[in-house]
C-alpha cells in the first residue's frame, strides 16, 4: 500500500504542512457537525484563519487524501497576509478504491496513480460543485469571487484546478501543489467560455515525489498552458522534495497571494 511521508517527520514539521497519505488506514474525520455551506458535503466546518483586519480577499485551500484542513490552516497562519481570510475545508469521509476501500477523508474516489487509471468523474464533478458553493458563500459574505484564490495539495490541488477551469465564477488565481489536472481529456471543451482563461496560476512540485511523480506536474503545466494565458503561469520545482511541502515553497505561495490579492486602496 502506498503511503506519503507522515506528518511529524522533520521535513513536514519544518514546513508545517501535511502530506497526502495514500495508505490503508487514514485518519478519520471527526463526526460531522453540519454540512459545509449547507451543501451535501458531510464534513465538519472548515478550519479558518481570520484576517487580521477586515477581510477583503480569501484563499480556499483543500488538503490531500486522508488529511484534514487543520494542518494547512496552521501553515497559512504562519504566512498570513493581514487582509486575507484563509479557509481550509475538511473532506468528507468515504471509501477509497486505491486503499482497499478503506474509509478516509477524500474529495473524490481515487482508483489508481497512473495517468491512464480510471477516474471518478461523477465524484470529481460533485466535489467541484460543492467547492463552487463554498465560493458562493464567501461572495455572500462580501468577498467578490475575483478576490478569491483557490488552492490545494495533491488531491485537493487537482480539485482546485478542475473547479477553476469549469466554474463561471471569475477567480483571482490558483495555487496547485504536487498535483495533477483530473479529467484532463475533457478539456478544452469542459472549459469553453471560462471567465478564468486569464487567471494566474502558481504550480509547485517536488522533483523527488514518489506518489504524484514530477512528470505529472510537468505534463499538467503543459496542459494548463493550452487552457489559460501562458504568461500568467508560474511553475516552481523543488529539488529533493518528496510528496510534501517545504518552507521555500510556502514563501513562494505567500508571494503569489500577495501579488494576486493586493490590499484595496482604502485599506
Task: Please indicate whether residue 70 is annotated as part of the active site.
Answer: no
Cβ proximity of 170 and 200 under 8 Å: no
**48, burial (CB in 10 Å: exposed 0-12, middle 13-18, buried 19+):** middle
User: 121: how many CB neighbours lie within 10 A of its CB?
Assistant: 12
Catalytic residue among 83, 90, 200, 243: 243
Which is the catalytic residue, given 106, 154, 178, 194?
154
**Most distant CA atoms of the chain, gap in Å:** 53
DSSP annotation of 98 reads G
Q: Which residue has the cell 494547512?
A: 72
194 preceded by cis ω (within 30°)?
no
Specify whether 21 is catalytic.
no
Annotated catalytic residue 97: no
Cell of 10: 522533520
- Catalytic position from the list 5, 120, 209, 252: 209
Grid coordinates given for 188: 478544452
* Residues belonging to the active site: 154, 209, 243
Amino acid at each position: 500500500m502506498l503511503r506519503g511521508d507522515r506528518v511529524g517527520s522533520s521535513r513536514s514539521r519544518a514546513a508545517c504542512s501535511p502530506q497526502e497519505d495514500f495508505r490503508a488506514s487514514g485518519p478519520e474525520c471527526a463526526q460531522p457537525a453540519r454540512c459545509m455551506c449547507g451543501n451535501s458535503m458531510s464534513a465538519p466546518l472548515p478550519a479558518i484563519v481570520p484576517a487580521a483586519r477586515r477581510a477583503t480577499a480569501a484563499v480556499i485551500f483543500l488538503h490531500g487524501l486522508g488529511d484534514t484542513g487543520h494542518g494547512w490552516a496552521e501553515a497559512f497562519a504562519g504566512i498570513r497576509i493581514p487582509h486575507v481570510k484563509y479557509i481550509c475545508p475538511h473532506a468528507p469521509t468515504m471509501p477509497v478504491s486505491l486503499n482497499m476501500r478503506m474509509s478516509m477523508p477524500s474529495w473524490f474516489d481515487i482508483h489508481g496513480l497512473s495517468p491512464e487509471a480510471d477516474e471518478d468523474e461523477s465524484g470529481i464533478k460533485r466535489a467541484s460543485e460543492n467547492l463552487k458553493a463554498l465560493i458562493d458563500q464567501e461572495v455572500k459574505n462580501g468577498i467578490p469571487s475575483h478576490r478569491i484564490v483557490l488552492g490545494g495539495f495533491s488531491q485537493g490541488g487537482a480539485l482546485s484546478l478542475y473547479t477553476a477551469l469549469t466554474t463561471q465564477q471569475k477567480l483571482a488565481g490558483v495555487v496547485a501543489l504536487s498535483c495533477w489536472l483530473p479529467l484532463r481529456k475533457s478539456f478544452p471543451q469542459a472549459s469553453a467560455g471560462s471567465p478564468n482563461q486569464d487567471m494566474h496560476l502558481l504550480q509547485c512540485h517536488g522533483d523527488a515525489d514518489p506518489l504524484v511523480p514530477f512528470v505529472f506536474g510537468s505534463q499538467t503545466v503543459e496542459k494548463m498552458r493550452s487552457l489559460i494565458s501562458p504568461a500568467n503561469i508560474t511553475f516552481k520545482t523543488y529539488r529533493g522534495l518528496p510528496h510534501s511541502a517545504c518552507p521555500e515553497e510556502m514563501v513562494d505561495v505567500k508571494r503569489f497571494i500577495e501579488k494576486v490579492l493586493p490590499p484595496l486602496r482604502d485599506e
